A and B are shown apart, each in its own frame.
Chain A
Amino acid sequence: MKKKAISVVLGMAMLAAAISGCSGTTAATTTAAATTKAAATTAAAATTKAGETTAAAGENKKIILITMDSTDQHWVNVDKGCQEEAAALGNITYKWMAPDKKDDAQQIERINNAIADGADAILIAANGPDAITGALEEAKAAGIVIVYVDSPANTEAVATFSTDNKAAGKTAGEQMLAALATAGVTKGSIGIVNINTATDSTNKREAGFREAFDGSAFTILETQYGEGDAAKSQDIADNYITDGVVGIFGCNEGATVGVGNAIKGAGGGIVGVGFDRSDAILSLIKDGSLVCTMVQNPSVMGSEGLKAAAAVLAGETLTETAVDTGVSIVNKANVDSLA
């Protein structure tokens, strides 16, 4: 009996460890899901100091974009940004080599193809930090300029154009403050629905969001974690509402849908601000359940990335190598132009 008792207790200790430890294992998938599904077309605040003068005419350079896949609207918009910039610059031969699905082997193959194709520069959104590093180092050895768009790998490149999640979170916080001010709310508590403690991008968003409230009269409650599950996030948001919050921030798509649904269910009256864009989120903005959502700017990643690559190829030095492409704010006023 004693043996049995010990085994049961050990089993439960494992369970407890799994409960607290499991969040780590979901990090990879949730981060992937956090990548916005589609992109904003509105212009953003991103700027590169370099590349404003076009490269010297005459010499034609070949620039190749390699994304994670070919179908996602996010990548289609990166490509669109590249195309526009290539057309504007004039002396660029631009090509998009997209794997048909997110797969490290396919991405490596595309890099090798780009080298064989005689690329002068490669713009790449790395699937993961490590898998493609070797292939990229080979490309660099062949004298090819590497620029990261959206997500970098673990080898140095001339520049990275991606969303600064902390700054984006701060923008979300400022939007909420503005909406609360408009509603005449001057104090109260605010809830945050995040994914889990292990997702870096959403933790940065949360940190930025909290920073926006520094010194304000509002109290930010303990963060709750919905595991990226819209239904669970909705339960959490329901609880926040019962507890009398004046605003709730959703850190990713699932959390944002949950927050919006909960506010809708409560009949409004709470300021909901979210992150990412999806059809469900847009309709929650249209019906007023959410005030706004932050969406990334993939076309800016493409245009600025290509501009930087062209500048380096023309012999210029970039003044800024880690560029935040910013977020666009989608609210009731501009949501119809997107849907």
Chain B
Amino acid sequence: MEKNETREKHTIRNILAIRGVGQIATVTIGLLVLCLAFAILNPSFYSSRNVGNLLRQIAPILIIGIGQSYVLITGNIDLSIGSVVGMSCMISATLMTKGWNPWLSVVATLIICIGTGIGNGLLVATCKLPPFIATLGTMTVARGVAQIVNNNYNTDAIGEGAEGFRTFFYYGKMFGIFNTVWIAVVLFLLFNFLLSKTRTGRHIYAVGSNIDAARLSGVNVSFTTIKAYMVSAFCAGTVGLVTSATAGIGTMDSGNMYEMYAVAASVIGGVSTLGGQGLLLGTVVGAAIWGVLQNGLQFAGAPVAIRNIVIGIIVIFSVLLDVVLRTGRPRKSAKGAAHTEG
């Protein structure tokens, strides 16, 4: 037991070493270049008003990115994120329009969302469904729930009683920075601690880098996978609350395509889609790049088709860069380990 524990720790240390600051630093330089380019194209980009808004626009992408990173590190994927955002937005708003206390609605909504995450985890870990298919299913189901909770309509305004809720999740500021950003910061610190400093975190890496080795070393693979999906669903649920606070209504289309934003934020930041590798700090930079691109390209007046092409190329390029960086490193032993997982 003692030996297994040590070996597990050893493997993880190796992974962390490969995926260290090098990758993140490279992407950060890319981020700075992007910011500089957008600032030159349109000075409004670096106005204090836009910097505040931009941070607030990045926050939800970071939150879902954290969730997706957890799942990706276990070697799985969560495609239901966007729909869970929509479901959370619609459930919370519907409950509030029906006169529920906003905070009670928040708790009820998050419980339902986490339930969806448990469902995803059970389908993948216990029923052994391919994660792509299982979460594609829950993606459709959750979107359906979002549509049905208010009989296929966006909700009415969530009302006067919900002002505190709206301030807490979107409109309020603390030390000059919007609350949404603080929420993202708190979740980042929490989940980064969980991932890098606790046994659960080590198990998540272990499951993703070599599932059989993890199982043999006594890791409860199913439970670990379920936990990762719970984190993902909780993050998506939180973003759903942000969107209902933002609009003051529930929109059935809320969160459309967010699962893709979350994948992009994670992979740009160096989280491997093959599992076992990645740091949440990278996800922060990835989310920032994604947010800066969305925001900056609007300021630059780029047509949507051009924007799609640019974003696609940047996603591909950043993964290519990651791969090139990694192959350039003399890490034969780690390479061998990485091969077995694919």
Contacts and interface: CB of A to CB of B under 8 A. Distances in A.
Interface in B267-312: 267, 272-274, 295, 298-299, 301-305, 308-309, 311-312
B154 A33 contact: yes
A102 B153 CA distance: 12
Contact of A231 (B254, B257, B260, B273): B254
B254, B255, B257, B264 pick with most chain A CB within 10 angstroms:
B257
B57 interface: yes
A12 B267 contact: yes
Contacts, number: 173
Contact of B295 (A22, A239, A253, A261): A239
Contact of A257 (B247, B264, B311, B319): B247
B156 A279 contact: yes
Given A19-B257, A225-B304, A258 B50 contact: no
Contact of B273 (A8, A29, A30, A258): A8
A238 B53 contact: yes
A37, A232, A244, A254 pick with most chain B CB within 10 angstroms:
A232
A31 to B, nearest CB: 11
B53 A261 contact: no
Interface string A5-34: 101110111011111101100100110110
Nearest to A13: B316
Contacts of B264: 15, 19
20 contacts: A4-B339, A9-B319, A12-B316, A13-B316, A16-B311, A20-B309, A23-B257, A29-B253, A30-B253, A229-B251, A232-B256, A238-B57, A239-B295, A240-B298, A242-B44, A242-B47, A254-B251, A265-B171, A278-B154, A280-B156
A310 B332 CA distance: 83
B176 to A, nearest CB: 16
A227 B323 contact: no
A239 B338 contact: no
B39 interface: no
A9 B309 CA distance: 16
Given A8-B273, A12-B319, A265-B171, A29 B252 contact: yes
A222 B301 contact: yes
A193 B217 CA distance: 54
A37 B6 CA distance: 62
B185 interface: no
Interface string A212-233: 0000000001111101111110
A186 interface: no
A279 B157 contact: yes
Main SS of chain A's interface residues? helix
A227 B253 contact: yes
B53 A22 contact: no
Contact of B246 (A8, A197, A230, A278): A230
A71 interface: yes
Contacts of B273: 8, 11
Interface residues of B, number: 64
B147 interface: yes
Interface in B44-62: 44, 47, 49-50, 53, 56-57
Contacts of B244: 231
B71 interface: no
B243 A230 contact: yes
Contacts of A197: 304-305
B242 interface: yes
B312 A239 contact: no
Nearest to A23: B257
A9 B316 contact: yes
Given A230-B251, A231-B89, 7 more contacts: A15-B263, A22-B260, A224-B304, A230-B249, A235-B57, A238-B53, A278-B156
B259 to A, nearest CB: 9
Contacts of A195: 253
Contacts of B338: 1, 4
Interface of B: 42, 44, 47, 49-50, 53, 56-57, 89, 143, 147, 151-154, 156-157, 171, 242-244, 246-249, 251-257, 260, 263-264, 267, 272-274, 295, 298-299, 301-305, 308-309, 311-313, 315-316, 319-320, 322-323, 326-327, 335, 338-339, 342
Kindly state the interface size class of chain A when it binds its partner: 35 or more
Interface string A243-266: 110000000011001100100010
Contact of B308 (A11, A19, A239): A19
Nearest to B157: A280
Contacts of A1: 326-327, 335, 338-339
Contacts of B243: 229-232
Contacts of B254: 229-232
Interface in A75-113: 102
A165 interface: no
A16 B316 CA distance: 8
Interface in A250-292: 253-254, 257-258, 261, 265, 278-280, 283
Contacts of B311: 16, 19
Given A4-B338, A7-B342, A261-B248, A227 B256 contact: yes
B315 A8 contact: no
Nearest to A224: B298
B342 A3 contact: yes
B337 to A, nearest CB: 12
Contacts of A224: 298, 304
Given A197-B304, A227-B256, A261-B246, A239 B263 contact: no
B304 A5 contact: no
A253 B326 CA distance: 47
A301 B151 CA distance: 24
A108 B4 CA distance: 65
A236 interface: yes
A235 B274 CA distance: 33
A221 B311 CA distance: 20
Contacts of B143: 29
Nearest to A264: B248
A293 to B, nearest CB: 14
A19 B49 CA distance: 29
